[in-house]
Structure 1
């Protein structure tokens, strides 16, 4: 199974530095988006360390082995970032991450934070990841309406990321891949401004390159308060 892949990143209209970092290894079936934590110094350093570690993964056979090696690499980066923050007397140097591995007709997503992965099959879009965030915890507990989550005053508070806690827990989810499936990885600079229905419509009515361009244009037209990064991988 082959893949058509495009990636885009933009600093947005309010930030001076792009703290997002992308990994595109289509030949290996591995992609990732890392979002350096806004408001923390050296977020760009943190996200770069995440994608660089994933870039250096050894060649392995089997999807499960690839994902296991990715998680081990992220846990190593987690310790590096904690040590770096202590050495620089900084509170936190961190990054979210969402990754996607595909091999032999199967996919696996791994993530920590609120960067997201989606799969479009036909005209049905499903969110594969579950945000590690305060508002998602409130939604899951039935204490907050999902429609109110994006505008909640604590919407920017995440509960898990690389470089935040001594122990990094990385969640995973997987399934099968069919020809025509499209996978979208994105930082919250996209998902806070573009709803799922609009994502589905844009992906289903355009090729990957045009869809990516349109999504970036939409975010910029809506003020782009944050960096925005997108990877679209389509099974062909």
Structure 2
């Protein structure tokens, strides 16, 4: 409702679901997020489980491709960059079988939804999160802190990208929420959980659309991108 350009991009096609949020105020933020989606589409075969190694390769290749968008001499806010958060259905090998691989760089988030409880899987790579972890800032004050938009990791920011990764056992019924911070800046976890519980997406608008509209209704100060994954494994 405020920004003139949408710097978010997403992919919602098995086995990979992701959201990338181009760094606001930086050069070519929209191109950076779009580049991540393109690289994943080139690296990951659709419709079949991937592997942890292929997902990591796509993350590192995305970092290289986004860095190529910046020109020699670009520094600070002139450097192209984007967050990246997502999940992938992967075959982790004979001993582990198929699992969900959660990955994150920046402050876009992945949540798991257990029907009555919302759990944030990823940890924000942000200045305020570091202050919270160090006991210097109350979590309730994080969203109003003047440095709330400062992220400490991003695709394209450094020559080597340090992504956080989790492997979660694949259960018969699971649900995940992937979103840019445009959602979480407008709705707290309790509000998100109530909307997830009351909208299944089976009738009427999708759950993702309901969440986006709620965030826009609360002000929509940033681009809002949401992917809701409901998985049933036979």
Say which structure is richer in strand.
1
Alignment of 1:76-115 (within 5 A): 76-87=61-72, 89=74, 91-103=78-90, 106-115=99-108
SS at match of 2:31: helix
Q: Following the alignment from structure 1 to structure 2, what is the Cα–Cα distance between the partners of residues 83 and 25?
A: 26
More deviation, 174-183/93-102: 174-183
Distance 1:82 1:30, change over 3 A: closer
Structure 2, unaligned runs of 5 or more:
91-96
Aligned residues: 221
**Larger RCO (CA within 8 A; separation ≥ 6):** 1
8 A contact 2:36–2:66 mirrored in 1: no
TM-score normalised to structure 1 length: 0.86
Kindly provide the CA deviation profile for residues 100-132 of structure 1, in whole angstroms up to 9, marking residues without a partner as x. 012465211011000000011120110010000
Q: CA deviation at 1:216?
A: 1.4
In the alignment, structure 1 residue 152 sits paired with structure 2 residue 145: yes
1:191 pairs with 2:191: no
User: Which aligned pairs between 1:1-236 and structure 2 lie closer than 5 A?
Assistant: 13-26=1-14, 29-59=15-45, 66-87=51-72, 89=74, 91-103=78-90, 106-208=99-201, 209-236=205-232
Q: SS of the counterpart of 1:75?
A: helix
Aligned mates of 2:16, 2:154 — CA distance in 1: 20
1:59 CA displacement = 3.9
Moved over 6 A (4+): none
| Separation in 2, partners of 1:179, 1:120 | 14
Which stretch shows the higher mean deviation, 71-80 or 85-94?
A: 85-94
- Please say if residues 105 and 178 of structure 1, whose CA atoms lie closer than 8 Å, have aligned partners that are also in contact: no
Preserved CA contact (<8 Å) 1:49 1:77: yes
For residues 174 and 192 of structure 1, the distance between their equivalents in structure 2, rounded to whole angstroms, comes to 27
SS where residue 147 of structure 2 aligns? coil
Give the TM-score taking structure 2 as reference length: 0.87
Mapped partners of 1:98, 1:33: distance in 2: 6
What are the ranges of 5 or more consecutive residues in structure 1 without an aligned counterpart?
Answer: 1-12
SS in 2 for 1:71: helix
- What secondary structure is seen at the aligned counterpart in 2 of 1:193? coil
